[in-house]
Structure 1
């Protein structure tokens, strides 16, 4: 191999290290309870909810389809592959957030009203941040919510098939440690 090609390979390897290292550090922070895994609910066809929507009545809401259930199961496998086995699991009160958490197969989720869907309400963002920061530290924390909430909390528009590992305590905006693509 030529010296020039070897130098380019070495440079490429060095440039790749911080990205991988920072993602590894984010997973380590999550495992130690110093970060939160913030995820959008799995695939639920359509947009919004019907006019007849009622919390607590899944028949009136937009729900996960088979693909969404499979997607959530894949997220659970990804978490376990990073040694996240029994996290504290919180969701909004919408059925699609709760069903996503159940399909992770990581224990029973606890509903948290602050993770409910909201549309840019500054007071709601502050309540969500305070509620998350008030949770006890030390164990991994997985939160299933809505994309609009994730964007409002972090200032990062995560793709629907992407999760974020976010540093605790949450700041304004929250500090994203890693963007985690959906498992395939």
Structure 2
């Protein structure tokens, strides 16, 4: 049987066997490729283990209660809404695409599979947030303070931030239950100095007059 060409000894232009140095180089290359594959596999396993630990931590916090899962809406391609967009008119806004809608359903499936039922589901007035919440958890309560600060005057945004902190403190005092809020990256960042990718959440608690605390991050497996 002919030896595969990739494993045959190197030959020179005249058809003779290549030098020992060349053979060693070939073996070194193959070994290097094998090592790279092993490293890549190890990194993949480590990433999976990290996600599993993160998932378990978030689930434990939700079961314990006294927390809010602050979600960024599911995937909606783009960055900002089109000029002249109007709240209440989804046709003028940036909306979820098919991948985003599927992502939102998977969020709901994760919670349902673990029998985790939020005591309250609140959403930004933006359609992409309402749709995310509806597909994952059912019809939400629309709450203006969760709206994008880019859609309000600065003074309104400051008042909304105070309302968010007050509501988070109240939710944090209720053990045995948790709330889900669906909002925007900018709201996550303004409230916590942190943010997530689309369809992911920060698990938050706020005690007394302290700043909101990010206890964990939650994400679907990739």
Match of 1:51, SS? coil
How many residues are matched?
Answer: 166
TM-score, structure 2 length as denominator? 0.65
Match of 1:164, SS? strand
Higher share of residues assigned helix: 2
**TM superposition shift of 1:48:** 0.8
Q: CA RMSD of the aligned region, Å?
A: 2.7
Match of 1:101, SS? helix
**TM superposition shift of 1:126:** 2.0
Structure 2 unaligned residues grouped into runs of 5+: 1-48
Q: 2:145 maps to what in 1?
A: 114
CA contact (8 A) 2:133 2:182 kept: yes
Match of 1:79, SS? helix
**TM superposition shift of 1:103:** 0.7
CA contact (8 A) 1:75 1:183 kept: no
**TM superposition shift of 1:172:** 4.9
Structure 1 Cα separation of the partners of residues 97 and 209 of structure 2: 34
Match of 1:53, SS? coil
TM-score, structure 1 length as denominator? 0.77
Structure 1 unaligned residues grouped into runs of 5+: 1-15
Q: Deviations over 1:59-113 (max 9, x none)?
A: 1111111111000011111222333135411000000000000110x23200011
Structure 2 Cα separation of the partners of residues 151 and 43 of structure 1: 18
